[in-house]
A = this chain, B = another copy of it.
């Protein structure tokens, strides 16, 4: 059972395949009556073009490669939704790849995507294939999300959160409420998201002349479990317990919240709480954390805009866009008691 091809259309319409191609792609003048005939033939025999053949001829698959560390993370699904939306509207497809942060998987996926001649790449890089990605960016539009490359000559776009600024603002907020003894659960310093948030937070404290004891800083790995461990550690000695806990991403924040609940630590009476990032169902939680939202929808929109621009004109000069966060006030922050 063979599928109809362009020859069948040509035969049915009584024209040549070249003319059919012109009608389909609408890129050369075709007589109006001829066009009608061809379109009718296409409808009559139920023809649709073969994408593989087009790709082969045109060296473009009309597919966007989307490579992320965790396909189920709501940040990435939000951005993915935006990409898919843009793509769908322009007859592109979106090929999704999940690396789980594994550089080997990432490399395999990149190779696979290249062999499929993707039109563009949107990637949350692991950090271990940066030269490869930079090389790819010489050939096709690449948009980095959240994580930058370690190497210098990258010809692509970058969209992320303003990590330094967001953490800085959180710290300012803590200070404004009189907190001086602050516990910080940060991310890993080998990620720019980890180090910049930490630095932003500490910078604000520094400006206010507040110095954090090393025992009040815990370096987690951005996963929930390390939030639990961090909270345990920082809240261990009842003696000089911090009056506020700041957590530098959402997964760890959820771990912390679940620890606080089970340990019977009341927020904000016993402890104030701040978090960087967005938390699902935030308004239904047992306390409503004050957080710095990264505005993933906004980031998604920016990615979509850049993508469109790049597809239309691959030679555009690269942009580097930091989306500012938004403070969402909850009820997790109290004035620190006077000493």
Contact = CB atoms under 8 A, between A and B. Distances in A.
A152 interface: no
A285 interface: yes
A265 interface: no
B72 A61 contact: no
Contacts of A80: 71-72, 96
Interface string A18-53: 000000000000000000000000000000111111
Interface in A271-323: 279-281, 283-286
Contacts of A258: 283-284
Contacts of A77: 71-72, 77
Interface stretch (A105-113, A162-170, A225-233): A105-113
Nearest to A52: B55
The winner among A52, A95, A281 for most chain B CB atoms within 10 A is A52
Interface in A163-194: none
A114 interface: yes
A80 B72 CA distance: 8
A51 B111 CA distance: 11
Interface in A83-120: 84-85, 88, 91, 93-98, 105, 108-109, 111-117
A258 to B, nearest CB: 6
A51 B286 contact: no
A81 interface: yes
A13 to B, nearest CB: 19
Contacts of A279: 281
A84 B84 CA distance: 16
16 contacts: A50-B56, A51-B115, A51-B116, A52-B52, A52-B116, A71-B77, A71-B80, A71-B84, A72-B78, A84-B98, A88-B105, A93-B113, A95-B95, A258-B283, A261-B284, A281-B281
Given A52-B52, A52-B61, 5 more contacts: A71-B81, A88-B98, A93-B97, A93-B116, A281-B281
